[in-house]
A and B are shown apart, each in its own frame.
Chain A
């Protein structure tokens, strides 16, 4: 009777997070349940990690997703320097000056008599309403997405592990505090919080962060705020997963063995608990990345994230959305790129979960 209740309860609580109000903050695992440690492993002499990697290799969907993700990461990093070396010089009638590819293939360069062009040899993906190269802006936008995702996951994983382990291992007031804070964060519409943070403190961030290289320059300053907001809404979920896993690990025999042989608590946590959190953290953060990328794009779309002359997929969508009827091409490109990246991350996270926890499949 009790277990029945607990099981159904789990499902109901799993859905605490909004599923469909703009999917940013949510991961699909809410519905399917995040992996829990597998107690009965096959006795084949393979380590659980190697087993998981083997399973992942067989998963074609995950492999395709991984290569798409890697492709975009590669494009974002080495794409611009290559693209800026391709193409001849171009004489601009307006500026009365010749430009090389390092200029007109730069994502901030405006060529005002070449607006709204379709793909050509000079502009591989065409130009936008200010005569800027869409491919160059797209690559910069993907780079921004990756940087924000890395920032958010760094904070998310650090805070999640720290608080989650402490709450799970020691319990007590820190556990209570986590539970209350998580309740609060789950009830507070995450998107609204981020919108509030970047909307209210955005202009202060522009001046405060202007000295920071890359992140502070070219209208990117508000990204730090956006990343902070996204991390703030993400970590309670991570901490909850980590806490659950820690609770289970704590009861297992190898921890008991360590304790009886006189190992100190800190050492137990560092050597025995944290390494065993690997799979759950990897899966949860991969699934969170797609939410983060959508979140950044969404905030930039609302005009609260990256600002001109910077570029972000969300900003590109927002700029092009005013010309949907006339130049649909300009909105289709960033939309498809964003969708492709996000879907790939979701499939990858899904594949990782299946690989680490084969039981989760049904």
Chain B
């Protein structure tokens, strides 16, 4: 077990190194000089050299990469270009709790809605219930998230105008607080963000449930004369949950970091939003830090799912 985890960990380290290296090289070769744009129009060569030195841009590239990596492991991401004298970690810390909240709520909704839908479909496989359900899920999965987001906003505006509601169209309220007004802010973005995943979980649980229902032990359970309810909920469902539980970790890693459109459309100041705005102003320290953060989140998600995988299914022993 320990050996397996160590092996996985080294593999994941490789992924983080790869991702940081790609973002680093891109930042290095990007057109435009961030120092010039920082200094504005009037500056002397001395000022230029001094500021370049502060940001460490006068070193050869491999030295810059080494410092960058070193800083990464000590959680020191350097200074932002955009907001002078503001540490990158400081900027990220404002966004992480919000993105985490959005991601956690989204996955909760996805599992609680998607899995039952999939199970229902599997139990009535190839009837009209199954076909309609899976057709609907395919539509939900295919609809681009920003199309869904904007259409929901159009709907909210229309509701506000016709029914004189004052439902917020965008924004997030106070992170991790749940007064009525905060909840109002949250419902639309969470539902929009969760939609594609609901469809995914429905599809996944249908497939795994069908797989399990074909197994010998289900037939044995039926042959023993067990009530269908017991066969399904005791024997089949618990085994069908195994792949679903293990997937959750991976998905959470992506959910927390991948909300570019949801955060953009609903004006949610999470990390994806921070990433986008720093790309627009070419704030490379922030871009590099967020890219590393995203990679680490995804990689951690993978690791969690590996561990869950061995915990949930006692038949599987990791060699």
Question: Do A and B form a real pair?
Answer: yes
A1-B315, A203-B31 given; A297·B144 CB < 8 A? yes
Name A345's closest neighbour in chain B (CB-CB).
B142
Name A16's closest neighbour in chain B (CB-CB).
B250
Q: When each residue 281-296 of chain A gets 1 if its CB lies under 8 Å from chain B and 0 otherwise, what string results? A: 0000000001000100
A339 to B298 CA separation, bound complex (whole angstroms)? 28
Name B196's closest neighbour in chain A (CB-CB).
A20
Asked whether any CB of chain B lies closer than 8 Å to the CB of A11, the reply is: yes
Interface pair B250/A31, CB less than 8 Å apart: no
On chain B, the residues within 8 Å of A317 by CB distance are: 146-147, 150
Name A10's closest neighbour in chain B (CB-CB).
B243
Asked whether any CB of chain B lies closer than 8 Å to the CB of A254, the reply is: no
Name B32's closest neighbour in chain A (CB-CB).
A203
Name B294's closest neighbour in chain A (CB-CB).
A189
Q: How far is the CB of A74 from chain B (nearest CB, A)?
A: 21
Q: How far is the CB of B201 from chain A (nearest CB, A)?
A: 8
Q: When each residue 283-308 of chain B gets 1 if its CB lies under 8 Å from chain A and 0 otherwise, what string results? A: 00001000100110011001001000
On chain A, the residues within 8 Å of B291 by CB distance are: 192, 196
Q: How far is the CB of A166 from chain B (nearest CB, A)?
A: 21
One of B110, B135, B243, B262 near A11 (C-beta < 8 A)? B243
Interface pair B261/A298, CB less than 8 Å apart: yes
Name B193's closest neighbour in chain A (CB-CB).
A20
Q: How far is the CB of B314 from chain A (nearest CB, A)?
A: 12
Name A287's closest neighbour in chain B (CB-CB).
B142
A201 to B147 CA separation, bound complex (whole angstroms)? 27
Interface pair A19/B197, CB less than 8 Å apart: yes
On chain B, the residues within 8 Å of A5 by CB distance are: 315-316
Asked whether any CB of chain B lies closer than 8 Å to the CB of A184, the reply is: yes
Interface pair A343/B143, CB less than 8 Å apart: yes
Using a CB-CB cutoff of 8 Å, which residues 192-207 of chain B contact chain A?
193-201, 203-204, 207
A317 to B18 CA separation, bound complex (whole angstroms)? 34
Does more than half of chain B's interface fall in helix, strand or loop, or is it mixed? helix
Q: How far is the CB of A294 from chain B (nearest CB, A)?
A: 4
A23 to B147 CA separation, bound complex (whole angstroms)? 11
A255 to B78 CA separation, bound complex (whole angstroms)? 58
Asked whether any CB of chain A lies closer than 8 Å to the CB of B65, the reply is: no
Interface pair A28/B203, CB less than 8 Å apart: yes
One of B204, B287, B313, B315 near A196 (C-beta < 8 A)? B287
Asked whether any CB of chain A lies closer than 8 Å to the CB of B242, the reply is: yes
Interface pair A20/B144, CB less than 8 Å apart: no
Interface pair A339/B143, CB less than 8 Å apart: yes
How many A-B pairs fall under 8 Å by CB? 213
Q: How far is the CB of A300 from chain B (nearest CB, A)?
A: 11
Tally chain A residues at the interface, Cβ within 8 Å. 66
On chain B, the residues within 8 Å of A200 by CB distance are: 26-27, 30-31, 279, 282
Interface pair B207/A33, CB less than 8 Å apart: yes
Name A5's closest neighbour in chain B (CB-CB).
B316
On chain A, the residues within 8 Å of B79 by CB distance are: none
On chain B, the residues within 8 Å of A339 by CB distance are: 142-144, 147
On chain A, the residues within 8 Å of B294 by CB distance are: 188-189, 192
Q: How far is the CB of A13 from chain B (nearest CB, A)?
A: 9
Interface pick from A135-143, A155-163, A321-329: A321-329
Q: How far is the CB of A145 from chain B (nearest CB, A)?
A: 12
A187-B299, A200-B30, A317-B147 given; A23·B250 CB < 8 A? no
Does more than half of chain A's interface fall in helix, strand or loop, or is it mixed? helix
Name A30's closest neighbour in chain B (CB-CB).
B200
Using a CB-CB cutoff of 8 Å, which residues 223-275 of chain B contact chain A?
242-243, 246-247, 250-251, 254-255, 257-262, 264-265, 275
Q: How far is the CB of A233 from chain B (nearest CB, A)?
A: 12
A191 to B18 CA separation, bound complex (whole angstroms)? 16
Interface pair A23/B279, CB less than 8 Å apart: no
Name A20's closest neighbour in chain B (CB-CB).
B197
Interface pick from A80-88, A117-125, A209-217, A330-338: A330-338
Q: How far is the CB of A126 from chain B (nearest CB, A)?
A: 15
Q: When each residue 172-211 of chain B gets 1 if its CB lies under 8 Å from chain A and 0 otherwise, what string results? A: 0000000000000000000001111111110110011011
Chain B CB within 10 Å — which of A4, A23, A188, A199 has the most? Answer: A23
Residues on A facing B (Cβ under 8 Å):
1, 4-5, 7-8, 11-12, 15-16, 18-24, 28, 30-33, 61, 180, 183-184, 187-189, 191-193, 195-197, 199-201, 203-204, 290, 294, 297-298, 301-304, 314, 317, 321, 324-325, 328, 331-332, 335, 338-339, 342-343, 345-347, 350, 361-362
Residues on B facing A (Cβ under 8 Å):
11-12, 14-15, 18-19, 22-23, 26-27, 30-32, 106, 110, 125-126, 135, 138-139, 141-147, 150-151, 153-154, 157-158, 161, 169, 193-201, 203-204, 207-208, 210-211, 242-243, 246-247, 250-251, 254-255, 257-262, 264-265, 275-276, 279-280, 282, 287, 291, 294-295, 298-299, 302, 305, 309, 313, 315-316
| Interface contacts beyond A197-B26, A324-B154, A332-B154: sample of 11 additional A-B pairs, CB < 8 Å, sorted by A | A8-B243, A15-B251, A16-B302, A22-B261, A193-B22, A298-B146, A298-B261, A321-B265, A328-B157, A345-B142, A346-B141
